[in-house]
Copies of this chain bind each other. A is one copy, B any other.
């Protein structure tokens, strides 16, 4: 068994109160005594028990992170952002993957609360009603990443997905495209999918373009998903001149599919991605994508959360990420 504060006290011939004072740098200790205690700590190899401490202080210095799937770079970068900022400020993170399954999200939230996390960050695709209830049914501060609490007052950090999608489609339009398809993540299970779809539709409308139901497809987040969606899209008699994909992996899949069908990108069809991960940059042709910083998103979530934990003040605030389009090779200007 490792040494306890009691062992140190015995060893240094003082009371445990004094040892505690030394550990916590409370000034009312005589220098000589302090030295004796420090020495005893070294000799016994004593390390404070954070659990006991947490119980007494009612503070665990841990942040719970509920996320979709750490395996997907989109979320991973966010998680790393959270972890770095948290670690720099003396907090640790407990991680729960949920794959977006509501039941698991709820269980994760309950568990994190039982473990007395000082705060919770939710990095998911959708905020379900039941999760929100669970999260609000406590006093733990909560910050949302990626999703926005539209009616409620939970602070959130996210991209203005609607505007970003709008801008990307607008960019395609500026390049002379009038027939624009979309390969999106499921707008029902993913909040940002919904928003990006709205942006897409709005841009079409604003520029007087027609919406074609048959050019709108949904894939999971994967390359294969993009491939399959593109395959369906290309089965139509008339096909668009450009496809707006709402993530890079799906854009790559779409690109591969087009190639497979004997088309060249961007000569025969233009494709755009979203997120600007290395997939897009190093693809050939390199994919035009919309850049925004997921790491920053995570870090910002952590920052807001820790501030709320430390001040105890709750305040609804939304932090919108910057974004910009990175123009590469996958879009052809077909304007006259």
Asked if B114 and A48 make an inter-chain contact with CB atoms under 8 angstroms apart, the answer reads yes
Asked if A83 and B55 make an inter-chain contact with CB atoms under 8 angstroms apart, the answer reads no
Is A113 positioned at the interface, with any CB of B under 8 Å from its CB? yes
Is A30 positioned at the interface, with any CB of B under 8 Å from its CB? no
A222: which B residues are within 8 A, CB to CB?
278
Which of A90-98, A166-174, A195-203, A204-212 forms contacts with chain B?
A90-98
Asked if A50 and B84 make an inter-chain contact with CB atoms under 8 angstroms apart, the answer reads no
Asked if B47 and A51 make an inter-chain contact with CB atoms under 8 angstroms apart, the answer reads no
Bound CA–CA A282/B49 (angstroms) = 49
Asked if A94 and B62 make an inter-chain contact with CB atoms under 8 angstroms apart, the answer reads yes
Asked if A51 and B116 make an inter-chain contact with CB atoms under 8 angstroms apart, the answer reads yes
A311: which B residues are within 8 A, CB to CB?
none
Is A309 positioned at the interface, with any CB of B under 8 Å from its CB? no
Asked if B97 and A95 make an inter-chain contact with CB atoms under 8 angstroms apart, the answer reads no
Is A334 positioned at the interface, with any CB of B under 8 Å from its CB? no
Q: Copies per complex?
A: 2
Query: Which of B45, B51, B70, B110 makes the CB contact (< 8 A) with A60?
Result: B51
Asked if B73 and A70 make an inter-chain contact with CB atoms under 8 angstroms apart, the answer reads no
A116: which B residues are within 8 A, CB to CB?
49-51
Asked if B97 and A80 make an inter-chain contact with CB atoms under 8 angstroms apart, the answer reads yes
Q: How far is the CB of A129 from chain B (nearest CB, A)?
A: 18
Which of A154-162, A177-185, A252-260 forms contacts with chain B?
A252-260
Bound CA–CA A95/B67 (angstroms) = 13
Is A87 positioned at the interface, with any CB of B under 8 Å from its CB? yes
Asked if A70 and B62 make an inter-chain contact with CB atoms under 8 angstroms apart, the answer reads no
A259: which B residues are within 8 A, CB to CB?
284
A282: which B residues are within 8 A, CB to CB?
223, 252-253, 256
Given A55-B55, A138-B2, CB of A92 within 8 Å of CB of B115: yes
Is A69 positioned at the interface, with any CB of B under 8 Å from its CB? yes
A sample of 18 more A-B contacts (CB under 8 A), given A84-B97, A223-B278, is A2-B139, A47-B113, A49-B55, A49-B114, A50-B114, A51-B51, A70-B80, A71-B73, A71-B76, A79-B95, A83-B95, A87-B97, A92-B95, A92-B115, A94-B94, A253-B282, A256-B282, A259-B284
Closest 7 pairs between A and B when the two form their complex, measured CB to CB: A50-B114, A50-B115, A51-B116, A71-B80, A223-B282, A51-B54, A51-B55
A-B contact pairs, 12 of them (CB 8 A): A2-B139, A49-B114, A51-B60, A51-B116, A70-B76, A70-B79, A70-B83, A71-B76, A76-B76, A93-B94, A223-B278, A279-B279
